[in-house]
């Protein structure tokens, strides 16, 4: 029997969430309290433990069409039938059509992957990693706090592109755009732009802080 990940098109229960974009390989803890989603979780726990996470588009008043499949890794039932779950992002998907809307959305989805790279992406990935270290170093200097990157940062360009995208905060629309990209190089290039802008902003603030400190001495 083929696993769910090997089927090109399948039906998938869908969970729209505002301001949340899940990426492959990244964790997503959830607190399930709405009745319809409690039904969903109880149903999928009896099957392959998979459902789709879609960002709810506030401007359009509907879910995005590209999301990421989540697999329940751990769950805890609470006394009032609420549930705490920990999920891990799996494959990305595109919604082709909705099969039903109630009690929760179920969509017919196709899996999507990045196109095979036509160039060596390691130099680009190394540049993004260095920019990330610069941002952390400057943030630590600015806040006078010790900030360290975790040891678990991926080295492969594809996995690094997902890791960086998932750790951008307060920019869900930008994250959604990164999720929808189907070229690892394009995603890394955009992340390099974001990190360069952030680094330059932090560097300017650090210089200002040093200047003020020197003035006050």
The predicted structure's pLDDT at residue 2: 38
pLDDT digits (tens, 9 = 90+) for 2-58: 334 445 889 999 999 999 999 999 999 999 999 999 999 999 999 999 999 999 988
Count CB-CB contacts under 10 A for residue 27.
12
Residue 211 scores a pLDDT above 50: yes
If DSSP codes are grouped into helix, strand and coil, which group holds residue 147?
coil
What's the CATH class of domain 4-112? mainly beta
How far is Cα 65 from Cα 62, in angstroms, rounded to an integer? 9
The predicted structure's pLDDT at residue 206: 77
How far is Cα 94 from Cα 97, in angstroms, rounded to an integer? 9
| Residue % of the chain over a pLDDT of 90 | 70
The predicted structure's pLDDT at residue 71: 97
Nearest CA among 105, 92, 14, 98 for reference residue 54: 14
Task: Indicate the pLDDT class of residue 212, thresholds 50, 70 and 90.
Answer: low
The predicted structure's pLDDT at residue 19: 92
Beta bridge partners of 106: 13, 100
The predicted structure's pLDDT at residue 47: 92
Task: Say if CB 197 and CB 205 are below 8 A apart.
Answer: no
H runs (alpha helix) in the chain = 35-44, 122-143, 157-166, 172-180, 184-216
The predicted structure's pLDDT at residue 58: 84
pLDDT digits (tens, 9 = 90+) for 131-160: 998 988 888 887 777 777 777 789 899 999
Higher pLDDT, 75 or 141: 75
| Helix axis angle, 172-180 to 184-216, nearest 10° | 150
Report field, pTM of the whole predicted structure over 0.75: yes
Spell out the domain ranges in the chain: 4-112, 122-216
The pLDDT mean for the chain works out to 89
């Amino acid at each position: 029997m083929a696993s769910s990940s090997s089927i090109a098109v399948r039906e998938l229960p869908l969970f729209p969430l505002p301001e949340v974009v899940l990426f492959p390989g990244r964790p997503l803890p959830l607190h399930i309290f709405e009745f319809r989603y409690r039904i969903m979780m109880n149903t999928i726990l009896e099957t392959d433990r998979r459902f789709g996470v879609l960002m709810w588009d506030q401007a359009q008043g509907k879910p995005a069409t590209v999301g990421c499949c989540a697999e329940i890794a751990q769950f805890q039932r609470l006394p009032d039938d609420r549930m705490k779950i920990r999920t891990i992002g799996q494959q990305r998907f595109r919604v082709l059509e909705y099969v039903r809307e109630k009690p929760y959305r179920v969509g017919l989805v196709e899996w999507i992957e990045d196109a095979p790279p036509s160039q060596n992406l390691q130099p680009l990935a190394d540049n993004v990693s260095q920019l990330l270290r610069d941002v952390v170093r400057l943030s630590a200097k600015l806040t006078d706090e010790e900030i360290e990157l975790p040891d678990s940062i991926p080295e492969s360009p594809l996995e690094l592109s997902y890791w960086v995208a998932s750790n951008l905060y307060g920019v869900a629309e930008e994250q959604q755009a990164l999720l929808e990209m189907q070229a690892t190089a394009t995603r890394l290039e955009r992340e390099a732009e974001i990190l360069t802008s952030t680094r330059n902003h932090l560097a300017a603030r650090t210089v200002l802080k040093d200047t003020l400190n020197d003035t006050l001495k």
